[in-house]
Chain A
Amino acid sequence: MKYGRVYIEDVGVGDELPPLVKGPIQQIQLTRYAGASGDFNPIHQDDEFAKAAGMGGVFAHGMLSMGFVAQALTDWSGAGSVKKLGVRFAALVRLKDTVTCKGRVLSKASKDEVHTVELEVWAENQRGEKVVAGRATVALPSRA
């Protein structure tokens, strides 16, 4: 269902998003994300700086993982469908980590011809630890 568009009628509470697997995270991706986002915090680039800051080494931008979660959503619901996305950064993503984004439908609502779905979304590392956890609201079309 890559780049798919689901209809509100096809969605049920408890439905799960197709998992999106990203990584293993490489330094070049963090450097690329720094350039694309404008977040040049050396803690994501310079291992010595990150160690001196007490972080034990370089880790990924939280916003990169949030971007992965947003991709997992829109791969399912379609580009331009996200109305709200809010996450907490629960744990650091390190180099070589694999990030798997998941989601589950919590509720559906229809009001004034606007159909929305609320989801629980999260991302896990290769040990099954949550690195990102949050909620999303997407708007879906109706077959009607």
Chain B
Amino acid sequence: MPIQINRGVVGKEFPPYVVTVERGKIKEFARAIGDLNPFYLDDRVGQASEWGDVIAPPTFAVTFRDESADTGALLRELGTDISRVLHGEQEFEIVRQLKPGESYLCRTRVVDVYEKAGKSGPMAFVIRETAISDRANEVVATLRHITVIRL
């Protein structure tokens, strides 16, 4: 018996949250991927660079999380749980590099929810967008996240 997905979440905006990027977190993330690029890892290389400090790898903003706006919170509202979830698609648009010590405001909203027949049965696709802005309120990056729920 397939589960029912609550389409009422379409258009929902999660409470905005602030993330401050930690230097060590950038390095931990790059090393976990095995990407040893000195522009992420070496403070001296960062200081001498056009950015004046190390920068975060392109997918780093996926670490920006908040309990009230994370996948777990979304799943509860959708009426499902983590065991049914797959990551379908992900997109990053990067306007400016994320740097240590900077604080960013993250605003996530649910753009769409739709159902489709998949290879292994019915699936729901949940599309979320997160806009990340700096202290000047300029958007520095946008994330588009498609979660697949096996119904």
Chain A interface residues toward B at CB < 8 A? 3, 22, 29, 32-33, 35-39, 41-43, 49, 52-54, 61-64, 66-68, 70-71, 73-75, 78-80, 82-89, 134
Contacts and interface: CB of A to CB of B under 8 A. Distances in A.
A32 B92 contact: no
B135 to A, nearest CB: 20
Given A36-B33, A70-B33, A84-B92, 18 more contacts: A3-B37, A33-B32, A35-B32, A37-B29, A37-B32, A41-B85, A54-B150, A64-B32, A64-B33, A67-B35, A70-B35, A71-B35, A79-B57, A80-B55, A82-B92, A85-B59, A86-B144, A89-B86
B-side interface size class:
35 or more
A50 B38 CA distance: 36
B91 interface: yes
B31 interface: yes
A53 B91 contact: no
B57 A67 contact: yes
Interface of B: 25, 28-29, 31-35, 37-40, 49-51, 55, 57-59, 62-63, 65, 82-95, 97, 144, 150
Contacts of B37: 3, 71, 74-75, 79
Given A53-B83, A66-B59, A87-B90, A36 B38 contact: no
Contacts, number: 114
